[in-house]
Amino acid sequence: MFGKTQSLVLTIVALACCGALHAQYEKRWESIACHSWRVSSADDFSAVPDDADSLVIEGRDDAVYDLSRFKNLQQLIVQSHLINPNGDSRLRNLPSTLVGFRIACGDIKFAALMTLLKNSPHLNVLEISCWGAFDVKSKLRLDYFGDLTTFTFITFGRADSEIRHSPWDSLIDLPAVDDWLRPLANLSKLTKVVLDMPRLPLPATLRIATLPTLKSFASTQVTDDALAGFVEMESPIEELNLAGNKLVTDYGMEFLPRLKNLRRLCVAGCINVGDFGIPHIAAIPHLEELDISAQVWEYEYPPTPTYPLNHLSTRGDDRNFRLQFPEYLSQLGDIKTLKVLTAHNVSTFTSKILSDVVMALPSLETLDISGCVGQIGKKIGNASNNGALSDASHLEFLHTHKSLKKIVLAATLGDIPRPSPLTSAALASLAESQTVEAIDISGAEGIAADSIAALSKAKQLRTLNMGRVVVKGDLGAALLSLTQLESVSVSEYKNNLDIPELLAARNYVSLELRVLTLRDDVLRALANSTIQHLSIVSYKPAEEAKFVELAESLKSLKVFQIRNGDSTERVSLRNKITAVRKELDLAIE
């Protein structure tokens, strides 16, 4: 549960202008927040029990929130208006037990924030982000938090040292920002830093990324010069996250093989890192996880050069996309230590390229190629009219891999949704796999029930995620044939699925169920089943009593009612459920 996590985080994150890196952390915090008591008013706040260990205060009224009664509070998430730019705060008496704190803010006065947190010395992870001005003249006093292990600062605003400027990046006071970040170097337990800001001084980047205790570094402002500095100063980092970075290029990738401890690399959405950088990435000696996902919009522009010319090749003038040439993409297969490969939305992948890469990776355990198909009927670079993986039936080679345990072939959502690359033939072929334990085909379209039933041959298969999938044929019969499954995600209302019949015949441990409404017969079937971990997505609100009854026999319960966003109702539901099962891992969205 959120209040019991080992990695404890203080976060201040903006809610607007989400970049790739920011989006990653927002998604993570939304997941955490749903495990908390979530209040919008003083009335909600008064209904929260004194022993609550995790709290989200949206504070849409003018109330003052006194936290002195919470003797076990570990995690606190609040909105910006609870700490005003003038330094006033509507939060009072933060408890000494606090280990995590998050605030979404506009303009921020760090002096007021640090004063507020001074009585919570056990904070050990700090993330800061704002969309307005942040006052670098007000020192970032981190000496209160000797146990700090993680620091994150995400902002889309400007740094103000003396006067207010217009919010253009070029007007940011870099020396002041450098000085403001200097206290990070004094944290002896710091292991993770995330910096997503308009501009980041090179000295600060090098000073932070080369701290002897640092394991993970993420930033949208890392440059090629910074990567060279990482090598020269022998950075100890094991994880480098450059998601959404527009400054680093293929040239900078040539320094990465000399980072001796590098294990995990993310260059998702790095528009200046492409084919020509892959040989350098492939040379990283101990790389275990790689994310080369594309931004969804990268393949939506007309076929005109969008990728810069590069001194490593004379072919820059005939390219349309940064990940395009098979001779470079295939070199991903040279990363013999790779265990996890993620490549969302890379529409220029073909089955041949994927086969060359995947079959050359002897240690690969997880492959995620969600959304690697272009929009229907739209020509993608040198691919066919339906996208490079319109020949996706040729993904049958996946079942021959000797170490793959998890395969994700989902559709990706967003402003520019992309379909799943899966076909019925490819899914049926996975039945021959001797190693795959989990398959995720969320959002896939046109999948035949027979191809799902064929998976009964894969006796080691334990997890099948079919969220948002509409199946052609009798899905119920197909699922009944899969006797080996322990965890299933399925949409009941889209597939006319008989849930009571299914649960009576199968001993599932975990179930994610999408229903139009939680009917009484489904409720009874769930209550009498072997399920220990249940996630319910309901498109029509259900009575609280139904969820209370379900909670009595579960270890974890997640409730997502799409048409029910009232915080008072969430507090009431959480109160009633915890009264029955206090130890339940409960999430309410």
Q: What is the pLDDT of residues 21-37, one digit of tens each?
A: 767 766 766 777 788 88
Query: In which region does residue 379 sit, left (phi positive, over 0), alpha (psi from -120 to 50) or beta (all else)?
Result: beta
Q: Is 323 helix (H, G, I), strand (E, B) or coil?
A: coil
Are the CB atoms for 135 and 84 separated by under 8 Å?
A: no
- The alpha carbon of residue 128 and the mean position of all alpha carbons in its chain are separated, in whole angstroms, by 18
Are the CB atoms for 172 and 158 separated by under 8 Å?
A: yes
Give the span between the Cα atoms of 268 and 370, in whole angstroms: 13
| pLDDT of 381 | 43
Per-residue pLDDT of 106-143, as tens digits, reads 566 677 778 888 888 888 878 777 766 566 666 777 87
Nearest to 34 by CA among 93, 70, 75, 80: 75
Give the span between the Cα atoms of 7 and 5, in whole angstroms: 6
Residue 537: pLDDT band with limits 50, 70, 90: confident
Are the CB atoms for 128 and 11 separated by under 8 Å?
A: yes
Are the CB atoms for 534 and 555 separated by under 8 Å?
A: no
487-491 and 510-515 beta bridge pairing: parallel
Q: Is 21 helix (H, G, I), strand (E, B) or coil?
A: helix
| pLDDT of 72 | 93
Are the CB atoms for 245 and 223 separated by under 8 Å?
A: no
Mean pLDDT of the 509-530 span: 90
Are the CB atoms for 39 and 571 separated by under 8 Å?
A: yes
Nearest to 357 by CA among 463, 468, 282, 467: 282
Length of the chain: 589
- The amino acid that residue 98 corresponds to is L
- The alpha carbon of residue 29 and the mean position of all alpha carbons in its chain are separated, in whole angstroms, by 9
Are the CB atoms for 547 and 559 separated by under 8 Å?
A: yes
| pLDDT of 379 | 44
Are the CB atoms for 126 and 150 separated by under 8 Å?
A: yes
Mean pLDDT of the 41-63 span: 87
Tokens of 130: 């704002």
The pTM (predicted TM-score) of the whole model is 0.88
The vertex-342 CA angle with 391 and 13, nearest 5°, equals 135
Q: Is 315 exposed, middle or buried (0-12, 13-18, 19+ CB in 10 A)?
A: middle
Per-residue pLDDT of 227-252, as tens digits, reads 999 999 999 999 999 999 989 999 99
| pLDDT of 89 | 79
Question: What are the angstrom distances between the C-alpha of 463 and each of 15, 364, 412, 518, 526?
Answer: 33, 18, 20, 23, 19
Q: Is 518 helix (H, G, I), strand (E, B) or coil?
A: coil
Domain boundaries, the chain: 1-222
Averaged pLDDT score across all residues of the chain: 81
Are the CB atoms for 202 and 225 separated by under 8 Å?
A: yes
Tokens of 48: 């929260």
8-state DSSP, 183: G
Give the span between the Cα atoms of 409 and 443, in whole angstroms: 9
| Residues 6+ away with beta carbon under 8 Å from 259 | 230, 231, 235, 237, 240, 284
Give the span between the Cα atoms of 560 and 539, in whole angstroms: 8
8-state DSSP, 296: G
| pLDDT of 105 | 66
Tokens of 278: 């892959």
Question: What are the angstrom distances between the C-alpha of 203 and each of 175, 206, 222, 510?
Answer: 10, 5, 11, 49
Q: Is 273 exposed, middle or buried (0-12, 13-18, 19+ CB in 10 A)?
A: buried
Query: In the beta sheet, which residues pair with residue 511?
Result: 488, 534
Query: In the beta sheet, which residues pair with residue 55?
Result: 37, 76
| pLDDT of 165 | 40
Residue 565: pLDDT band with limits 50, 70, 90: low
Tokens of 251: 């040239």
Per-residue pLDDT of 313-325, as tens digits, reads 454 445 566 787 8
- The amino acid that residue 496 corresponds to is N
Are the CB atoms for 568 and 40 separated by under 8 Å?
A: yes
Residue 214: pLDDT band with limits 50, 70, 90: very high
Are the CB atoms for 497 and 525 separated by under 8 Å?
A: no
Give the span between the Cα atoms of 347 and 57, in whole angstroms: 42
Are the CB atoms for 230 and 259 separated by under 8 Å?
A: yes
Per-residue pLDDT of 255-277, as tens digits, reads 999 999 999 999 998 988 988 89
Q: Is 265 helix (H, G, I), strand (E, B) or coil?
A: strand
Q: Please, what sign has the CA dihedral across residues 218, 222, 228, 230?
A: negative
Q: Is 409 helix (H, G, I), strand (E, B) or coil?
A: coil
